[in-house]
Structure 1
Amino acid sequence: MRLQMLLQTLLVTLSGFLYSASDLISAPANELQAKLDLLATGTETTLTIPPGTYRLPKEGLQLRGLKNRTLRAEGVTLLGTDLSPSALRFHDCQNLTITGLTLDYDPLPFTQARLTGVDAKGRTADFEVSAGYPDLTDVYLEGQTVHLFEPEANRWKVGVPDYYPKKIERITPRKGRLVFSQEATGFESLKKGDRIVLNVRKRQGVLIGEGCAGLTFKDVTVHSAPGIGFLIRFAEEAGTFENVRIVPGPKPAGATEERLFSTSADAFNAAYVRKGPTLKNCDFSFMGDDAVNLHGVMLPVIRWLDERTFIAMRAHRGDRFDRLIRAGDEIRFLKEPVFEVTARAKVVKVEYQDGKNAGIEADVKKLWPTSKEEKPGAVYLVHLDQPVSGVAPGDFCDVPATSAPGFSITDSNFHDHRARGLRLMSNEGIVENNRFERLKGVAITIGPEYAFWREAGWCRDIKIRGNHIRDVAQGTNLLQKNSYTTGAITLMGRVEPQGEKTRYFLGNENITITGNQIENCAVNGITITASRGVMVENNTLRRVNLVREPRMARDYNLTDQAPISVQQAEATVRENQISPEN
């Protein structure tokens, strides 16, 4: 009782918190962790958490060693209380089912505001934080990412780019100023009364890690996360997600406006996983990035030790690909700038060494343009089943078995968010009977992000059928000369851009795009490049190519603008219905 009174007093006196004291159940945080630990080691197979709202400890909850267990959490909301660690971390869990749970954060990993004035000459825009949303503490200013929304409707503003001001100034705890460079695009679209979101990107909300397989999330909701909603890394299987919702949560205490944001980055991101996810009847919206990203590992060839053994590396010492990659896995060798597959082999064994002690020198920044590290973190000795020729130090390789193959994404709704719907770099999957609406990016891309992001790889054996795509490609980033996703459905390969000289290896294969409906799209309906063995059949396209921009994708030599565009690819296109309006 004394703890409960202390907790309620603390919550009442602190401003900017999402939930009021009357919403909370005062269960000691370590008690819930202790019950989870007991569930893993005891004889009971089911744990039912009493309904209510629980504030998690700063470090969140660790779910480890839960095998053949069920966690029932109907009516339960867990609140992450720190924006740096994950709220929930799963390790070595197998055949675990979680039902009914809701995850949120307090404080929120974003704040939202309204523009109060725009100075065209000074290239600034002043704003005031909306009632009930967090003050402008440092954590909301350091990201320098701004999302622009309509003044009244809860949706991203149409026809504007992503905004990255050179500075976000705090004038008072509730008032601030965006400062833009002279080169920044889209400044003219900022209007008094528009709403903005400043978000925090620090950590995923839910981490599913090594040793996990057979996880099922059913009727689970995520309202916010200071990064990706569900991040899956080095798991055996990505799991099953049924009726999972990633949507904005309730208005904060004292707020008059609904939330404009859910997760600060992707809703769902699975990589370095041997079996892909099953997503069914899911609803993902208002994220700061893609709805779904599936990809595999890409490794540089640092040095050959003999004709069957080479050294590779990663920037992070915790990347234990020696435990993920198995004997018999296919390995493909890739040569820049088009990442052509020049050789293939089978893995015999991968050995790991801590990068600090391996004595290996590598230009990490060149190899991994997005890395914050400067020296190798993990070094691997990769043993092959046969000699390979034509592979030089500086080339890359990938392992398709690590790219979450065997995925299924069906009967789901992806809408009202930044970036792309599905960003697929995987194999042996199906995308069927989903809805994509009001996206800043395109609906579906299939193919690797070898250049820059270093996300693998070439895709094969994927079916895209019966999906409904409407009002996508609403952001102007897609119209720029450095764009490389030019269709509501895009088959692609991100290579090193060389303008008109850019060429593509036909690395994606055996992809079918059938029975989809696409309408109200600024760019092409379907773009096929870097692919072969593609079937495009019985699709219906209405009102696509709504914006004609000659510069679009010029850097990548993808300037063709047509309802269905096939560029540097081999595809069969037949019996598609294209509206005369095009």
Structure 2
Amino acid sequence: MKQTTTLLLTTLLFLCFSCSQSHKTISFDTFGVHPNSKENASVAAVKLIKYLQSRESDSKLTVTFPKGRYDFYEDGAFTREYYISNHDQDNPKKVGFALEGLKNIVLDGQGSDFIFHGRMIPFALLNNTNVTLKNVHIDFEIPALRQLKITAVNKEADEVIAEIYPPGNYRIDNNKLVVEGESYEFTPYVCMPFRADKRLAYNRADVGFNPTEITEKAPNTLSIKGWEQTKHTSPGEHFVLRSYHRPTPGIFVSECTDTKFKNVNVHYAEGMGLIAQMSENITLDGFSVRLRGDDDKRFFTTQADATHFSGCKGIIRSQNGLYEGMADDAINVHGTYLKVTKRVDDHTLQGRYMHSQSWGFKWGEPGDKIQFVESKKMELVGTHINEIKQIKAIDKPTDFGAKEFEIVFANELPVQVTENGDYGIENLSWTPEVIFSDNIVRNNRARGSLFSTPKKVICENNLFDHTHGTAILLCGDCNGWFETGACKDVMIRNNRFVNALTANYQFTNAVISIYPEIPNLEDQQKLFHSGIVIENNTFDMFDQPILYAKSTDGLIFRDNTIQYNTEFEPFHWNKHPFFFEKVNNILISNNHFGKEMDWDHAVRTELSAPDSVVIKDNN
């Protein structure tokens, strides 16, 4: 019997050792928290990640979460100082999962709900290789955004009656509504108006919320007086109350390689749904920023963009997603210009992050390819690509938290690039290819998709359904947002656009808007964007502007179908289906229009040669 027991123990030890060498799976409940228990899962998350970081092997490991609800609280969570592109740089931040320095890890939520409490970043991924997050729903118990449902309007008394949702967690101070979170509070001052069907209201963008008097008629029912929307609204409309504050994204990715998200649903975040910076190769498959279904009483999801990629490289692949109800774009891909602040010598410049929400993170490294742009004309300076030889922060010990850098270049600098003008430094090495395909973008504020990269962009097989502004924007700006850069190879094909542009925002001159910010367009000699093809798309239109392009050399608009409806009254200031400023080599051919086109008035061209636009074979 003793020999049998010894043999059994030996066998078990051998099996355990074998499993540890090819470790496949570990369950989250191993770390002390079970689903649906309401226990603080932040404590278990800390234990899990300590375990992952202590592994000696880099073999693939999957962490499974038994399906259910997990609650994560600030107490016991990670505390981190992070500098996150296009977000508020307020620190420290509470983090649910601080996934740092990991390799070959899969986190599989198996369809679980991860509910966060307070002001937290649910997932932060830093300095990882081959990490995957899948099958999880991310939400917050008490969101900062709230909405008002209008139940009655008395225009003579200048009063509306509204129900607040989610209920509770608010107070009235000196006739001001104060939203109370679990660890914060704020006073909303702007809102997004929605129709009862969850589409944003026609021709009303970013309306103010500053009533003269708010009183509580009953719990969660408010009397609102002296508000400018009283004369515009009616029962059934909803107003999503917000600020422009962006403290915490749903998912933060920085300096990672080969990161994947599969069937991840972000239902709310007080910043962007996902923001990635200085990372290589990111795949989103079935990643969504979405409501919880048709019965969800919320009209909103995120405080800003659904997804955002700043200074990334490799391939960004985003497919099979649903993006709705967010307070900004579905996707934005760009780099960041540094502004030249000092020419030290003929090989050395000092440059600075300029936007108040984008600084503190790595900008470049030795070997990166660099070019320079004159900001007012958005025109390249010099004929050769330069290279970083050395780069160091000059206002911090390292690039962590830095705003200003000193950069030594391998080759001599153009003589005109000094602090006496307005010049930007662009890092070409940290620019990605983008594939944005088979997604649905609907019922969101501002714009649908933004692409600013010189590498190949494919935007295909998507549905853009009632984006409040432009559906697709190709931008570039070294004056305000300081977001690079010029597009060189863009394919927009097989998409459907349904009544985009129901309100005006920045850069929203048509359903597709190619709009680099150029203060001195008239004196520009070298055009900014090029290599753009728009083909085989369907445009369902209630208004006129289809395509706007500025400073573009090489644009083809062909084999598209444009059909018209009467869902809304036309209102846009741009009365031309095609409006071009400072362009060359534009072709509009073989498109099918649902009405007779008066080509003498359909195309407006400014600051361009007479033969810059060719129109042929349309019907």
On whether the aligned pair clears a TM of 0.5, the verdict is yes
Whether 1:41 and 2:54 are equivalent positions in the alignment is yes
8 A contact 1:210–1:233 mirrored in 2: yes
Whether 1:490 and 2:507 are equivalent positions in the alignment is no
Measure the CA separation in 2 of the matches of 1:47 and 1:354. Answer: 41
Q: TM-score, normalised by structure 2?
A: 0.76
Match of 1:246 among 283, 289, 294: 289
How far does residue 562 in structure 1 lie from its aligned partner after superposition? 2.5
Measure the CA separation in 2 of the matches of 1:487 and 1:504. Answer: 25
Measure the CA separation in 1 of the matches of 2:311 and 2:153. Answer: 45
Amino acid at match of 2:109: A
Q: Which residue of 2 aligns with 1:580?
A: 595
Amino acid at match of 1:299: L
Distance 1:403 1:211, change over 3 A: closer
Secondary structure of the residue that 1:224 maps to in structure 2?
coil
Q: Which residue of 2 aligns with 1:127?
A: 162
Match of 1:349 among 389, 397, 416: 389
Please identify which structure carries the higher strand content: 2
Whether 1:525 and 2:546 are equivalent positions in the alignment is yes
Secondary structure of the residue that 1:97 maps to in structure 2?
strand
Measure the CA separation in 2 of the matches of 1:64 and 1:376. Answer: 21
Q: Where do residues 532-547 of structure 1 align in structure 2 (5 Å cutoff)?
A: 532-543=553-564
Q: Where do residues 127-166 of structure 1 align in structure 2 (5 Å cutoff)?
A: 127-130=162-165, 132=167, 134-136=169-171, 137-138=178-179, 141-150=186-195, 152-166=196-210
Distance 1:301 1:169, change over 3 A: farther
Q: Which residue of 1 aligns with 2:412?
A: 386
Distance 1:318 1:485, change over 3 A: closer
Measure the CA separation in 2 of the matches of 1:523 and 1:504. Answer: 30
How far does residue 169 in structure 1 lie from its aligned partner after superposition? 6.0
Amino acid at match of 1:45: L
Measure the CA separation in 1 of the matches of 2:212 and 2:348. Answer: 50
Q: Which residue of 2 aligns with 1:562?
A: 576
Q: Which residue of 2 aligns with 1:319?
A: 360
- Could you tell which deviates more after superposition, 534-543 or 36-45? 36-45
Q: Which residue of 2 aligns with 1:174?
A: 220
Match of 1:457 among 481, 485, 504: 485
Cα shift readout 1:119-143 (whole Å, capped 9, x = no counterpart): 7688775533146464354457534
Q: Which residue of 2 aligns with 1:115?
A: 150
Measure the CA separation in 1 of the matches of 2:202 and 2:557. Answer: 29
- Could you tell which deviates more after superposition, 65-74 or 123-132? 123-132
How far does residue 335 in structure 1 lie from its aligned partner after superposition? 3.3
- Could you tell which deviates more after superposition, 485-494 or 389-398? 389-398
Q: Which residue of 1 aligns with 2:269?
A: 225
Q: Which residue of 1 aligns with 2:310?
A: 271
8 A contact 1:114–1:196 mirrored in 2: yes
8 A contact 1:279–1:410 mirrored in 2: yes
Q: TM-score, normalised by structure 1?
A: 0.81
Gaps of 5+ in 2: 1-33, 75-93, 172-177, 598-619
Secondary structure of the residue that 1:102 maps to in structure 2?
strand
Amino acid at match of 1:433: N
How far does residue 509 in structure 1 lie from its aligned partner after superposition? 1.0
Cα shift readout 1:88-129 (whole Å, capped 9, x = no counterpart): 111111111222111101112321222355576887755331
Match of 2:422 among 371, 379, 395: 395
Q: Which residue of 2 aligns with 1:105?
A: 140
How far does residue 548 in structure 1 lie from its aligned partner after superposition? 5.6
Q: Which residue of 1 aligns with 2:609?
A: none
Secondary structure of the residue that 1:441 maps to in structure 2?
coil
Measure the CA separation in 1 of the matches of 2:315 and 2:428. Answer: 10
Measure the CA separation in 2 of the matches of 1:539 and 1:211. Answer: 40
Measure the CA separation in 2 of the matches of 1:418 and 1:448. Answer: 20
Q: Which residue of 1 aligns with 2:337?
A: 298
Gaps of 5+ in 1: 1-20, 359-374, 553-558
8 A contact 1:531–1:569 mirrored in 2: yes
Compare CA radii of gyration and give the structure with the larger one: 2
Measure the CA separation in 2 of the matches of 1:220 and 1:121. Answer: 48
Distance 1:79 1:406, change over 3 A: same
Secondary structure of the residue that 2:43 maps to in structure 1?
helix
Q: Which residue of 2 aligns with 1:3?
A: none
Cα shift readout 1:238-292 (whole Å, capped 9, x = no counterpart): x1000112111379xxxx9711111111100110212342001111111111111
8 A contact 2:144–2:179 mirrored in 1: no
How far does residue 78 in structure 1 lie from its aligned partner after superposition? 1.1
8 A contact 2:250–2:271 mirrored in 1: no
Q: Which residue of 2 aligns with 1:77?
A: 113
Distance 1:130 1:103, change over 3 A: closer
- Could you tell which deviates more after superposition, 539-548 or 216-225? 539-548
Distance 1:504 1:419, change over 3 A: farther
Distance 1:544 1:293, change over 3 A: farther
Q: Which residue of 1 aligns with 2:297?
A: 258
Distance 1:168 1:141, change over 3 A: farther
Measure the CA separation in 1 of the matches of 2:212 and 2:328. Answer: 21
Distance 1:422 1:221, change over 3 A: same
Secondary structure of the residue that 2:483 maps to in structure 1?
coil
Identity %: 19
Distance 1:581 1:148, change over 3 A: farther
Distance 1:180 1:300, change over 3 A: farther
Measure the CA separation in 2 of the matches of 1:285 and 1:105. Answer: 17
Measure the CA separation in 2 of the matches of 1:168 and 1:86. Answer: 35
Cα shift readout 1:286-342 (whole Å, capped 9, x = no counterpart): 1111111111111111111112211111257963435x3441413122231x32223
How far does residue 581 in structure 1 lie from its aligned partner after superposition? 5.7
Measure the CA separation in 2 of the matches of 1:208 and 1:141. Answer: 23
Secondary structure of the residue that 1:36 maps to in structure 2?
helix
Match of 1:335 among 366, 369, 375: 375
How far does residue 521 in structure 1 lie from its aligned partner after superposition? 4.5
Measure the CA separation in 1 of the matches of 2:69 and 2:242. Answer: 24
- Could you tell which deviates more after superposition, 133-142 or 290-299? 133-142
Amino acid at match of 1:569: V
8 A contact 1:144–1:164 mirrored in 2: yes
8 A contact 1:514–1:537 mirrored in 2: yes
Measure the CA separation in 1 of the matches of 2:528 and 2:439. Answer: 28
Q: Which residue of 2 aligns with 1:209?
A: 253
8 A contact 1:141–1:198 mirrored in 2: no
